[in-house]
């Protein structure tokens, strides 16, 4: 593993704490509530809570082939927005409302910026490759990365919505490698979710390591680190 020219990181759960997996139903309720507030402010009717939540539950899944299901399309269906009320500006506002409670929870892990800076100091290229909740658009997430100071210490930031495919699909990793100009065998991927962060990069010949901060995956026979400082020892 030593001699890697690039390290790619997942975002949520790896560099930034947003919410645990079991917290997502509550986060989703908050996100949909904020969308409703913004739609009402524009004078639009919102479905009653029971119907809205049934429609939200029907949208709470991802494609089996890992193709992105865009948030804007889901919100249009959940809130029964007709075409004439579903313009780009309105849908952008709805998506930003959805993301507001998520961004409000953001906490940079203490090891994130120091490790990224050290990698850059060693001449190792760095990037972020991340799925987004419910296929939320890349624009607000790029703003979030800049707000957190991560854009200053990474050279490529790729979100699933701008590629059209979620991890572990190979496409999102290929785009990131192409941006960095590094071949898969010379890169390492670091992520906290075995479902998305291991098989995808490995299928391309990239090494991948699991970040297990809390010991949640001790039953898995995987190479792991318990903090990002462990990545420095590997690279």
Give per-residue pLDDT as tens, 23-69: 999 999 999 999 999 999 999 999 999 999 999 999 999 999 999 99
Residues across the chain: 235
C-alpha to C-alpha distance for 13 and 229, rounded to whole angstroms: 15
pLDDT at 122 over 90: yes
Beta bridge partners of 17: 107
Residue 37 contacts residue 128 (beta carbons within 8 Å): no
The C-alpha atoms of residue 101 and residue 18 are separated, in whole angstroms, by: 10
Q: What is the pTM of this model?
A: 0.95
Provide the β-strand partners of residue 125. 6
- Rounded to an integer, the average pLDDT of 81-107 is 89
Please state, rounded to an integer, the average pLDDT across all residues of the chain.
95
Summarised one tens digit per residue, pLDDT across range 9-24 is 999 999 999 999 899 9
Identify whether the C-beta of residue 228 lies closer than 8 Å to the C-beta of residue 126: no
Q: What angle do CA 12, 151, 21 make, to 5 degrees?
A: 5
Residue 1 half-sphere exposure, CB side, CA atoms within 13 Å? 14
């Amino acid at each position: 593993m030593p001699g890697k020219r690039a390290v790619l990181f997942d975002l949520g759960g790896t560099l930034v704490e947003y919410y645990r997996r079991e917290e997502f139903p509550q986060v989703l309720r908050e996100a949909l509530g904020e969308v409703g507030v913004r739609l009402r402010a524009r004078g639009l009717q919102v479905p009653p809570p029971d119907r809205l939540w049934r429609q939200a539950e029907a949208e709470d899944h991802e494609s089996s082939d890992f193709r992105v299901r865009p948030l804007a399309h889901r919100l249009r269906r959940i809130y029964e927005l007709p075409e004439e009320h579903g313009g780009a500006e309105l849908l952008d506002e709805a998506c930003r409302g959805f993301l507001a409670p998520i961004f409000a929870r953001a906490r940079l892990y203490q090891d994130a910026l120091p490790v990224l800076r050290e990698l850059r100091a060693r001449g190792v290229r760095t990037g972020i490759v991340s799925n987004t909740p419910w296929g939320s658009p890349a624009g607000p997430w790029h703003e979030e990365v800049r707000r957190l100071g991560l854009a200053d210490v990474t050279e490529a930031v790729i979100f699933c919505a701008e590629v059209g495919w979620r991890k572990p699909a190979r496409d999102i990793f290929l785009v990131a490698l192409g941006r960095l100009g590094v071949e898969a065998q010379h890169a390492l991927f670091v992520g906290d979710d075995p479902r998305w962060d291991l098989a995808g990069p490995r299928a391309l010949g990239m090494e991948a390591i699991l970040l297990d901060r809390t010991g949640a995956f001790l039953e898995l026979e995987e190479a792991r680190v318990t903090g990002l400082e462990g990545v420095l020892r590997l690279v």
